[in-house]
Amino acid sequence: MPPKLGLIAGGGELPVRLAEEALRQGREVFLLGLEGHASPASFFHLGELPQAWIRLGEAGKGIDILKEQGCAELVMAGPVRRPTLRELRPDWRTVRFFGRIGFKALGDDNLLRSVIAELESEGFRLIGAHEILGDLLAETGVWTKTQPDDQAQADIQRGLEVGRGLGLLDVGQSVVVQQGIVLGVEAVEGTDALIRRCGELRREGPGGVLIKIAKPGQERRVDLPTIGPNTVHNCAAAGLRGIAVEAGSAIVVNRPEVIRAAEKAGLFLCGVSVSQ
């Protein structure tokens, strides 16, 4: 029998899919939801799923709850908007954590590595979402009938170059390129807001492409680049014509629905190899 799983849930569909699959596998699951990020209503269909909800700044309370529940393995999933210090209202354990890591908190990947190290120091084992949902990672190749043309291929290559530079600076994972012009790069706003912003900046002619790749040396257990059906809908609404993600490193949530949505909208989807 696998150990009890603690699911630390942010927003989006991925935490729900993880809970569903872990329960299907016969695992005991405890949900630790992050208020203002995960939605309690998203988990209603799972019945009496044991759960607790905390603010992002209540690290001490969250660790105590996970220990009391006997969770040996943890998985962290779903986007979390980085709060201001006033919004965070950290408890004493959280204050000590940030005091200890200092400037490491300035970059997303460094912060997540520090969070993982802190949880592991408490005796938990952190696992990646793809260790539960084995078919999550993107495969190389074009997944849709619509194919990227030469201009789209050039935009993808341009996006990969820019994305690698962003990743080295620990800034973001997403870039939108149209006809060789970088319309936008992802920072703190997240992918959905980036797509909407680029929709307002789009130019005449063939639409742009969303490119999502992992950061060089990315901590693979958390925060891998992710797309889902909403990503496709947002790209279509913004006038983009395709999405390219890093094969083997990007998560595709609800792949059949992602492909159906892309086919309906006439967008291409592809997984590309990236040399780091």
pLDDT in tens, 230-240: 999 999 999 99
The H-or-E segment that residue 97 falls in is helix 92-101
Segments of the chain with pLDDT less than 70:
83-87, 101-109, 276
Amino acid type, 21: E
User: At residue 7, what are phi and psi to the nearest 5 degrees?
Assistant: -105, 110
CATH of the domain at 265: 3.40.140.80
Last residue of a domain, one of 131, 156, 173: 131
User: At residue 161, what are phi and psi to the nearest 5 degrees?
Assistant: -65, -45
Last residue of a domain, one of 97, 131, 165: 131
Cβ–Cβ < 8 Å for 212, 195: no
**The predicted structure's pLDDT at residue 167:** 86
CA distance 174 to 166: 9
Residue 32 lies in a domain: yes
CATH of the domain at 80: 3.40.50.20
Same domain, residue pair 161 and 121: no
Residue 136 lies in a domain: no
Cβ–Cβ < 8 Å for 246, 213: yes
Which residues contact residue 106 at a Cβ distance below 8 angstroms, ignoring those fewer than 6 apart?
A: none
Same domain, residue pair 257 and 153: yes
Which residues contact residue 176 at a Cβ distance below 8 angstroms, ignoring those fewer than 6 apart?
A: 159, 182, 183, 184, 185, 194, 195, 198, 208, 209, 210, 211, 240
Boundaries of domain holding 102: 5-131
CA distance 97 to 115: 9
The SS3 of residue 159 is: helix
Same domain, residue pair 127 and 149: no
Cβ–Cβ < 8 Å for 190, 212: no
**The predicted structure's pLDDT at residue 228:** 94
Domain count of the chain?
Answer: 2
Cβ–Cβ < 8 Å for 268, 242: yes
Same domain, residue pair 124 and 227: no
**The predicted structure's pLDDT at residue 162:** 95
Global confidence as pTM: 0.86
Closest Cα to residue 8, out of 221, 201, 194, 217?
Answer: 221
**The predicted structure's pLDDT at residue 115:** 86
User: First and final CA of the chain: distance in angstroms?
Assistant: 38
